[in-house]
Amino acid sequence: MVSMQKFLAACAVAGGLIWGGAAEAADAPASPSKVTQALTGDAVCTACHNESSPTPVLAIYQTKHGVKGDRRTPSCQSCHGESKEHLTNQKAPDVVFRKGAFASSESKVQSAACLSCHGKDVNRTRWDGGAHQVGDVACTSCHQVHRAHDKVRSKKTQAEVCFTCHKDQRRDSRKISHHPIGEGKVVCSDCHNPHGSAGPKLLAKNTVTETCFTCHAEKRGPFLWEHQPVTEDCTNCHTPHGSNITPLLKSRTPFLCSECHDGPHHSKDPAAGSVAGTQGGLTAIPSENYTGRACLNCHSMVHGSNHPAGALLHR
């Protein structure tokens, strides 16, 4: 750590503000109050946290947080607090966001500093009680404010930030059938709101189907003939993060269909009698497992049908 005399000398040089001459500032000790008298705002911090710092602190001026032409732009003290003890006695700042020379502050303290400005955004009003807040995740666990490029805000790099914790989803995204996350066309925040949500799993919308319909609008309907599991929850049949069965199916047909349609498959079509015989007035068609046929060979409109003759989702 730099001595107080060296610190004051740095203030005089970097800030261009001196009291009684640079030599006096360098050679004679000054009272703590003179430090803030000499420099104000960010200059107090950047006198020491300059381009020679091991972490790229000054890169913040390449981001929105450093645009001084905007009066809404915060200062160092807006986030880290006045930190008088840090300035005069070289103790930890009031709020420490990442562990380094000092232990990081509690996540709720860090988040409170961010939400003092960002809490007004409607996308963050449900942070309290959300999965990340309950899981003791701080804003800086994902965001890097002092870097020109915040990985979590870019489509190309967002997933690697999320996968730091969500390793199961990283595994699924590498499977044969997957959303184009690795290709940079879809990102986690297209479906999830990490800052809190009224829906389950931090979904961007209130339900799974509503979230899926944001992109898959052709599956929304309304349909004259609906398939009930589609209207309930897309994940009844699909696994959204990746599958080795296309298109993102949980299991192969006909086994997937049999999870719900587990009874005997009957038909009133007399022409089928030569195939299977008659049972109780109905013509029993052999099990799809027995015949090896996929249900979609006949019931092709599995998401719903608007055809007058599509009651069984045939067309």
- Per-residue pLDDT tens digits for 131-173: 999 999 999 999 999 998 999 999 999 999 999 999 999 999 9
% of the chain residues with pLDDT over 70: 78
Q: Is 80 in contact with 95 (CB distance < 8 Å)?
A: yes
Which structure tokens are listed for 261? 């349609």
Q: Tell me the whole-structure pTM to 2 decimals.
A: 0.76
Q: Is 172 in contact with 241 (CB distance < 8 Å)?
A: yes
State the Cα–Cα distance between residues 192 and 102, nearest whole angstrom: 33
Single-letter amino acid code for the residue at 28: A
Mean pLDDT of all residues belonging to the chain: 81
Domain-wise residue ranges, the chain: 4-141, 221-315
Cα–Cα–Cα angle for 280, 286, 292, rounded to 5 degrees: 165
Does the pLDDT value for residue 123 go beyond 90? Answer: no
Does the pLDDT value for residue 203 go beyond 70? Answer: yes
Single-letter amino acid code for the residue at 137: V
Neighbours of 155 (CB within 10 A): 15
Residue 288 pLDDT grade (very low, low, confident, very high; cuts 50, 70, 90): low
Does the pLDDT value for residue 100 go beyond 70? Answer: yes
Which has more confidence, 295 or 39?
295
Among 232-236, 268-272, 311-315, the minimum mean pLDDT is found in 268-272
Q: At which residue do the structure tokens 């562990």 appear? A: 99
Residue 144 DSSP one-character state: -
